[in-house]
Structure 1
Amino acid sequence: MFEDVTKPASRGFMRALSARTMIGLVLVALSVVGVLAVLHFGHQNIRVYRATAPLTAGEAVDASMLEAVEVQLGQVSGSYLREGELPSEGAVATRTIGAGELVPREALGAPDTDRATVIVSVEGSLPAAAVAGATVELWASPKATTGKKDVSPRVLVEDATVIRVTQDESMIAGLGKQEVELRVPRATVAAVLEAQGQDARLSLVPLYTGVN
């Protein structure tokens, strides 16, 4: 009788095949779990802030100007301000943020105690470039008075930021006044208030214009 020497070899081959199969199945399972995890976290909703109205550079921002919305941002979710992360002392917009735009973290900064907000009345039409977010000079032309020779216009503020413009309903053909909210260096506030108290004619001169 001859001994069947193929049985041990066959059993060894089956054990090796079974081990490779198990390893392959484990790797496939791990791959599937990894893909599902990426899909889960990549499509996870988070609540971030968006602006309810336009915010301009230099404007103080508080919770009343924002609303929390649920969105899917994936890998860029850390770039936006999440619900509850607005500092209790508020913040300042470092650039213009459009109405409905999600608020990037880099678009907000700490409150600027060196600048203040003032509202001035400007007669006639504004330059086309004097829009929210623009940097302008604020000029004052004193009222001419009898016996006073020096009535030359002078610069009150060299670098004011336009926050918003409110047009008077009576503005017709460049007549009337427009109220302009400006962010100005705190050191210039007294001069601005003094000029308004003396009924000086105020004008805005944009420092930059768009590139054609």
Structure 2
Amino acid sequence: MPGRPDPDRGAVRLDPRLLIGMVVVAASVLGVWGLVSGLDASTEVYAVRETVTPGTKLSADDLEVRSVRLGAPTDARRYLAVDALPDDGVVVLRTIGAGELVPSAAVGERADSETASVVVVTRGRLPEGVAAGTRVDVWTSAALERGEFDTPSVLVAGAEVAGFVESDGMLAEHGVQVELLVPRDRIAAMLRALAANDAIDLVAARAGEAD
């Protein structure tokens, strides 16, 4: 009498460990694909062509577009995106170096009211390395009789150089006209020194000196 057919004969059995391995491999492939896709995504943000200082008004014509990979969405919000620039531009709130991406926190819709611009003429040449964005101490010497001057002292500490004023296309031979950003509570003292024809010298401020 023939035996009963074995229902398991000829059936393909899959090892559960093989199924688990296949799932792990598939998940790994998807994870790598997602990571590569995320890294490949770029964002268009603005950068400045040259150093800009507080109070400078910026429009799209003053900026250049950079396509950068910033990673997380929170990183992208740290910089001024192309689609986030107002039609009337933005005002610089703190110095941005030439070629740098524009931090969102460094620009706003109105100027910083804590400083004001004053143009001074130095007694001599500027120290090496002083440029727009540099912090300097303003030293003054009160004018006395017969062309003599009193002992110099610091009138404003940590003023920021906004730029240089050219005269007849050339900087002065023995003195330089410098536009400074000075705290408003020191403006009166600066104007008194200028009106009295006091001698003015600029010295590079120490690193970390307070604004």
2:41 to 41, 44, 48: 44
Cα RMSD of the aligned pairs, angstroms, is: 3.7
1:62–1:26 distance in 2 versus 1, CA, 3 Å? farther
Query: 1:206 aligned to 2:204?
Result: yes
Report if aligned partners of 1:49, 1:68 keep a CA contact under 8 Å in 2. yes
Post-superposition shift, 1:53?
0.6
Deviation at 1:134, TM superposition (A): 3.2
Distance 1:34 1:170, change over 3 A: closer
In structure 1, the residue matched to 2:99 is 100
Work out the number of aligned pairs and report it.
197
Q: 1:98-135: CA deviations, max 9, x gaps?
A: 322223456x2765322222221113211235443333
Q: Compared with structure 1, are the counterparts of its residues 80 and 200 closer, same or farther at alpha carbon in structure 2 (3 Å cutoff)?
A: same
Q: Is the 8 A contact 1:43 1:74 kept in 2?
A: no
Shift of 1:85: 3.9
Residue 160 of structure 2 is matched in structure 1 by 161
Change (3 A) 1:29 1:179: same
Query: How many angstroms does 1:193 deviate by?
Result: 2.2
Between the two proteins, what is the percent identity of the paired residues? 33
Q: Does 1:196 align with 2:208?
A: no
Structure 2: distance between partners of 1:121 and 1:42 = 51
What is the rounded CA distance, in whole Å, between the counterparts of 2:143 and 2:90 in structure 1? 41
Q: How does 1:1-212 map to 2 (within 5 A)?
A: 1-6=1-6, 8-10=7-9, 13-14=11-12, 16-17=13-14, 28-56=25-53, 59-64=54-59, 65-75=62-72, 76-85=75-84, 90-93=91-94, 97-105=96-104, 108=106, 112-128=112-128, 130-145=130-145, 151-166=150-165, 169=170, 171-172=172-173, 175=174, 177-208=175-206
Q: Which amino acid aligns with 2:195?
A: G
